[in-house]
Structure formats: C-alpha cells, structure tokens
Structure 1
Amino acid sequence: MQTDRSQCGRGAAIDQLSDRDAMSAMLASHIAALESARSAIADISAAGALVARIVGAGGTVHYAAAGSSGLMALADACELPGTFQIPPGQIGIHMAGGVPTGGVMPGSTEDDREDAVRAARAVKENDVAIVVSASGTTPYALAFAEVARARGASVIGIANAANTALLEASDIAISLNTAPEVVEGSTRLAAGTAQKAALNMISTQAGVLLGHVHDGLMINLNPDNIKLRQRATDIVSRIAGVAADDADEALRRTGYNAKLATLVAAGADLSEAQALLTRNNGHLRACLHHIIPKTKNQNTTSIQGRNQ
C-alpha cells in the first residue's frame, strides 16, 4: 500500500483523520510553527531595531514577497499607519503580480524576476527591505533582495528553511524552520503562521523603540473612527491620570494626537508639549518627567490657596 507523504509528521494523513483529530493536528502544527520563532528571537530583535532606526531617520521600510508570503507581508505593512502612525510614504508594499483583487492570485508571478527588479527601483540607499519567502528560493523575492542591497538598502530576509539563497543574501537572516505542512506544500498554513508572528514582532518592537508604545498602550495610534477615538480617550485618561472628559477635551485641542493630548492633559500647554516631544524624539515617558512634578506643584499650590 502506498504511503501518502502528507503525514503531518504524526501518523495518518490529515484527510484520513476524524474531524476532531484533523483540527487537533492543524492546531498542533500552528503551535509548533510559532515555537520555530523562538530560536530566531535574537535575529528578530535585531530586525526590529534596524526598522526603527531606518524609519526614525526618515527612510522607508519595503515589504517584498510573493504568494501567501506576500499576503503575510501585506497584512503587516497595512497595520503600521493605524497602529503607530508610520507615514504611508515610509512604507513600500511590493507583491509579485500586485495586490490581488477578486480573490485571484496567479502563481506564475512569483517567478517574475523582471517585475521584482522594476519594483526594487523604488528602494533607496538607507532604506530597509523585509523580504519573505517560505522556501527561501522564490525568484521574485531573491531578485528584489539582490537589487535592494545593490542600491544601498539593508535587507531582512525571512525564510522557513535554513541556509537558503534568500538568507545568504540578507543582512539579517531570520530562519523559521517549520515542519512539513499538514497539507503538503500549502505554505499559507504553518509557514504563514510563523512568518506572521515574526513580522508582527519586528514591526511591534520597531514601534516600541520609536516611542509609539507607552505602558503597553498604543500612544501613537491614528484615531480615525469612533472605536479608536474612545480608545485614545481611555489612553490619555489612564496615562495623564485625568477624567475621560478632560482627556477628550485635550484630544480635541491637539487634533486627536494622543501624545500631545497626554502632555496637555497632564498640565503642559500646547507649545510646551510640542517642544518636549521634539526634544525627546517622540518618547512620551521622557516628556512626562518634565511636566508631572510641575503639575503636582501647581495642584498643591491651588489646594493650599483654597484652604487659606
């Protein structure tokens, strides 16, 4: 009897399992995929620091990939303006064949080196390119990485196999050694899970290092809907230690800039808040050290005056 190669590494092929066992096998493969990132934490951390440095200096972070890897890269790139207000002009999205519409993603585009070469012409010296390929050998990804490096950019390579061409062409090589897929060759599964985790970790750490996270809160979010405006109010209220109404008023005065609003709510005037953020490279904690003692003194004086 011929043995199916898609054995999940745990016995029977997934299509020979009961529904419940199949679900368990899928979940186990995703958990194992996430664990594959653990051995790459040092490289993932270095990648986050590099992205922060490039973006902080005004450079662009380019995401380049094909197929399901491209979808993972696209998802991460599109979150940056909303979560951290990274300017869209500092984000490049390069997906083989373009961003798919209508649910169609032709597989042949991943072989188009010429398309990658054209796309990589947008890369400038002192930019950074995050290039993702499950196999580490995708022609589109390799060509983009090669051109980006030739143009003076740094390259972060993410692959689900060690010692691949993409990783060898990268300044920071992130190897996510995921096991064979439960559906052989379908890299949107475990490989995609590991890629998404690594990309999330890189971009989130970059946001932290850029000063866009304070006490675990998205202090530089873009509050462009009702839910996010309420979240901004909550963030300002919690950090500045003021009532929600006061936080909301500070947000309105600052054009819904949560960092500025926090400083204004804590006692700074608008020009002082702007100067503090500029002087401290947008890091709120350093700014608060300058104004909270003054605010407390003012409150003490006011209380004493009322008691006399």
Structure 2
Amino acid sequence: MRIGLLGTGPWARMAHAPALGAHPELDFAGVWGRRTEAAEELAAEYGTRAYADVDALLADVDAVAVALPPAVQAELAARAARAGCHLLLDKPLATTVEQGQAVVEAVRETKVASVVFFTSRFLTETEAWIGEQAGVDGWFTGRAEWLGSVFTENSPFADSPWRQEKGALWDVGPHALSVLLPVLGEVREVAAAAHGPGDTVHLVLSHTGGASSTLTLSLTAPPAAAGVGLELRGAGGVAQLPESSEGVEAAVLRAADGLLAAARTGQAHPCDAAFGLRVTEILVAAEALLDAGPTA
C-alpha cells in the first residue's frame, strides 16, 4: 500500500514518519506539509518525495496518515477519502460534530477504510486489558486520570496552538474515552462538567450499561503530578489499566496493521471514523456544559 503523510510537526516526526518508514507492507511514498521547507526536510530524512500540492499527493497514493491539528485534519480527511484514499487519522477526529460527520459521510460514500489512532487501543498490553475487561460483567464505576505537563520548555508540544486553545478536554480526553467506552458501554449522558486549575477539567459520565465514570484531564499539571491512571470497580473487584512497555512507534505500526486489514477485508475497525465521531460528540457535549458554567 502506497501511503503519504500529511503533516510535518513533532508528532509526525516522532510517531508517524518512523512507523511508515519501517512498516514492511507500506511504501512511504511522500510527505505534504503546510510548510514546504519542513516537508522537504522530513521527506529527505526518509528518502521519499515532498509534495507542494496536497491533491497531487492524494492522486499518487492509496492511503494517507494525518498528523495535523484536528480542524485541518477533518477537512483534508474528507478530501482524501473522496480521492479514494484510506485514512490513518489522529485523535480527535474533529472538534465539531459537523466536521466529524463530513469525514464519516465521505468514508461511507467512498467505502475507504479508516482508523483513528487512540494510543492505548494500539499498545499490546493496554489493548489486551481493554478486551479482557470488556468481557467482564458487573462494572459499577470507572475513574480515569490523564494528567500531563505539556506547556513546559522541554515539551515538543508546548507551542501547539490548537492544544493551547482547546486544552486537555480535546487532547487527552479522547484517550480516556477510547478506553472507557468499549468497557463500560456507550455514554448516555455527560452528567456534569467542571473546570479545575489551569486547563484541568472534571467530567462525570453515565453509561448505558448502568455504570458511571469520572474523568480528570489536564495538560497543565505540575510535572511531579503528571501521569495516567484508570481504575475500574465492580462486582468482580478492582482492575487497573497497565502501563505499556512499548513506544509510540510500535503503536502506530499496529494502527497501520489495522488499516491494512480493514482495507483488505472491508470490515470496519473498532476505532474507525464513526467511533472518532462519537468521541467528538461526547466532547462537544462536555464543552457545552463547561461553557455554561456552574449552576446554583
């Protein structure tokens, strides 16, 4: 499968490009970026071609991997799907329901395969744990904490405009939801949402299976307080999301495997664009509650 990369930022460099260059069943055929010089630099590093015209790249490949801000991604993903390209997308799929729906509609119309890269869903240990817990009945509640210290001088994402604008809800919220939804079931309601310090937000969700969950999300936690934790409690006891020994490149490689399988079989991947849209819908509902502010 000939695949192109859209994006040249830190995430493209540390995650997507190394995986696309290493995957034995992918031909890393080209790079397009909003900055031509950056595309040329990244393409040269991997011995591939830099494209100045995104439509020219779409015409030359079978698939694209996207490492761009979500609003930019959504527009280009729909465009790529209509050009017949399979889609390896990043989270969040989009930051509005309308943008996400446009991607899903383009995927359905053209019958291309789609995979949205939620990291925990493509790490061997965590994906196995999610599958195991999804088969357990009687979960009562879940608690997820995704706490980062992104806006520090040592972070490659410190200058990310979309993260500065949208905050933890949109950056790490998708990670937490990607784990909770397959285990506790569909979200029936965002029951409560409140601001904490910095960009920290707290959410309370009710799930169709009867369980509830709480999420604490932040990109502005003190470095000593940063970390990820997810705990489930139910009739069978307590289960905690394991840490993974794999790096992000291994996860992208597995996501690419998922895209190849979906393209060959025609069977939708569990983390397809439709799942990405559902995550966007939940985050939009949470954002509306946060914008409304507390009630007396």
**Structure richer in strand, relative to its length:** 2
- Both proteins in one fold, TM over 0.5: no
TM-score normalised to the size of structure 2? Answer: 0.33
TM-score normalised to the size of structure 1? Answer: 0.31
**Structure richer in helix, relative to its length:** 1
The structure number with the bigger radius of gyration is 1
Higher relative contact order (CA 8 A, sep 6+): 2
